[in-house]
Structure 1
Amino acid sequence: MSELVLPCEKELLLQVARGDEHAFSLLFNTYHHHLGTHIFRITDSLELAEEVVQDAFLKIWLNRETLTSVNNFKAYLFVVSKNHALNCLRKLAKERIVQKSIENIELISNTPEVIENNDYYNLLDEAIDHLPPQQQKVYLLSRHDRLKYDEIASKMGISRETVKKYLQVATHSITNFVQANHNAAVIILVAGIFF
């Protein structure tokens, strides 16, 4: 692996710290591809790697004054990016657990015991009806229309992160509502699957 070395990197970092966009552009153009490849190895996702690289450089720009104390920019950049990638992966893992929980609830709703009891479906509909309008719309677009986060964000004119947050909160609210209002037999069945 060849080392990327910028002439007078320390001077370039000082220029960036002073707000020089051209110097920042030079740093970005020098490191973004190499960094993206490194982050892709960690995340195994091109989309997530691109997001992490952009976020890392945004964070560096927003905190550019701290660059004056950086002695090895490449190491600094890679540590910032790796930490952000790991945080994103943890968040993604939590989202997948929530998604799996919803799928398990939907699977439970298809068991013969529950199919005989239409109260479950009514309770699920009631839980969805209790959601605030934006959360409800995000939830229905995701679960019923099977739209992806980006599609929902575009359709509703909100950010992808807002879509993810609304979906997490909605899922949590629905699960709590169903558990609090459903009969004990189904709660035991749900607990058996989740635990």
Structure 2
Amino acid sequence: MKINATHNETELLTEIAAGSERAFATLFHWYRDKVYSAAFRLTHSSFLAEEVVQDVFLKLWVKRETLLEIAGFEDYLFIMTRNHVFSALKRMARQQQLVDDLQLELPVAENTTYNRILDLEIAEIVHQAVELLPAQQKQVYLMSKEQELKREEIAKKLRISSETVKTHLARALRHIRAYSKLKLEISISWLLFFLVN
């Protein structure tokens, strides 16, 4: 889907290169679904496709000053998405291979210890991520996950709309996933180093 007639693509990219968040939001609105669809076709995972969308647009924003050098933005965006997906899949395959190799080398008891340590590490990382949430997001998340309340119940208790609850949950989950992904990659690297050496 190309940007509509009221938004000239070159002008929009010029505004983004100059740092306009409004122009970037417009670009995101028009191309988000296209990036998601391409990523989903390649990964068959809604979770990974969402991550690709976030990573691709974050990269576009970080490199916004170079956008004016791009001829054929839509083609560039598709190639960028495809390359990002392939890199992510290769990285995941390498990490899984490391874990598989380690599990083959360690006796069963040590594998159990490794898994137990990893489970504890994941639980601690998620706890840290939850603690960093803004107050109302944290409250909504805990009411949903720990008290197992439905959206409507949370909305009624907090006197906010069901849509606001939905937004808080979505933002909380995005934060927890991003934080956990970063921390877990670091933790697994240290854990593998500790167990192998």
Using the size of structure 2 for normalisation, the TM-score is 0.64
Aligned to 2:72: 72
Letter in 2 for 1:167: I
Q: Tell me the CA shift for residue 159 of structure 1.
A: 4.2
Equivalent pairs counted in the alignment come to 146
How far apart, in 2, do the equivalents of 1:101 and 1:47 lie? 26
Offset, 1:149: 8.0
Separation in 1 of the partners of 2:36 and 2:124? 27
Q: CA deviation at 1:148?
A: 9.2
**Which residue identity is paired with 1:84?**
H
The answer to whether 1:31 aligns with 2:31 is: yes
TM-score (norm 1): 0.65
Instruction: Note if 1:144 corresponds to 2:142.
Output: no
Q: Greater Rg, structure 1 or structure 2?
A: 1
Tell me, which stretches of 5 or more residues in structure 1 are unaligned?
111-120, 126-138, 178-195
Look up the match of 2:181.
160
Q: CA deviation at 1:168?
A: 2.5
Q: Is the 8 A contact 1:152 1:163 kept in 2?
A: no
Distance 1:171 1:31 in 2: 39
User: For 1:1-195, what aligned pairs fall within 5 Å after superposition?
Assistant: 3-7=1-5, 8-106=8-106, 109-110=107-108, 143-144=115-116, 147=119, 151-157=123-129, 159-175=180-196, 177=197
Cα distance in 1 for residues equivalent to 2:30 and 2:120: 33
- 5+ residue gaps in structure 2? 130-178
Percentage identity across aligned positions?
28
Query: CA RMSD of the aligned region, Å?
Result: 2.8
Distance change in 2, residues 1:165/1:149 (3 Å): same
Look up the equivalent residue of 1:154 and give its one-letter code: V
Q: 1:53 to 1:167 in 2, by over 3 A?
A: same
Aligned equivalents of 1:94, 1:148: Cα separation in 2: 23
